[in-house]
Amino acid sequence: MQKEVTKSTNDTWLVPAYNVSKEDESIILRIEMPGVDKDNLDITVENNQLFVTGHREEKAPEGAWLIRERRRGNYRRVFTLDDTTDPEAISAEIAHGVVTMRIGFKATAKPRKIEVKAH
C-alpha cells in the first residue's frame, strides 16, 4: 500500500501531507486536513484504491488581503492498497484536522506459526 496514484482531474485538489507507519498489527495512515471535520470527510475504497477526500466549508472573508498564504480548496489523496491489506478492516477518525486511519492486514498475510509434531 505504498505508492499513491496521481490522478489528473479537472478539479484542483489540494494534496495533503501524510505519514505512514506500522504499529502493532496494522498500518497507520495520518493525513493532515486542516479545516475538515467529521461530516466533510469522505473515505471510499474502490478496486484496491483508497480515496480520502476532505471538503472545507470555509468562506473567504470579505475585505482586503494583507497576507495570503493559505491555499483554498478541497483535499484529496489516493492510495493503492496491496493484497496484504484487508479493505474490510479500515477504521478512521479525525481530530484537530488530522485524519488517523488504521488499516488491518488479511489473515492470510499474517505470519503463521506451524507446530512441529514429534512422533
Residues that bind other proteins (CB under 8 A): 2, 6, 12, 15, 17-24, 28, 30, 32-37, 58, 60-72, 96-98, 100
Measuring CA to CA, which residue among 9, 10, 34 is closest to residue 98?
34
Contact of 20 with 90, CB cutoff 8 Å: no
In the complex with other proteins, which residue's Cβ is closer, 48 or 57?
A: 57
Could you give the count of Cα atoms lying within 13 Å of 8 in the half-sphere of its Cβ?
Answer: 0
In the complex with other proteins, which residue's Cβ is closer, 59 or 119?
A: 59
In the complex with other proteins, which residue's Cβ is closer, 58 or 83?
A: 58
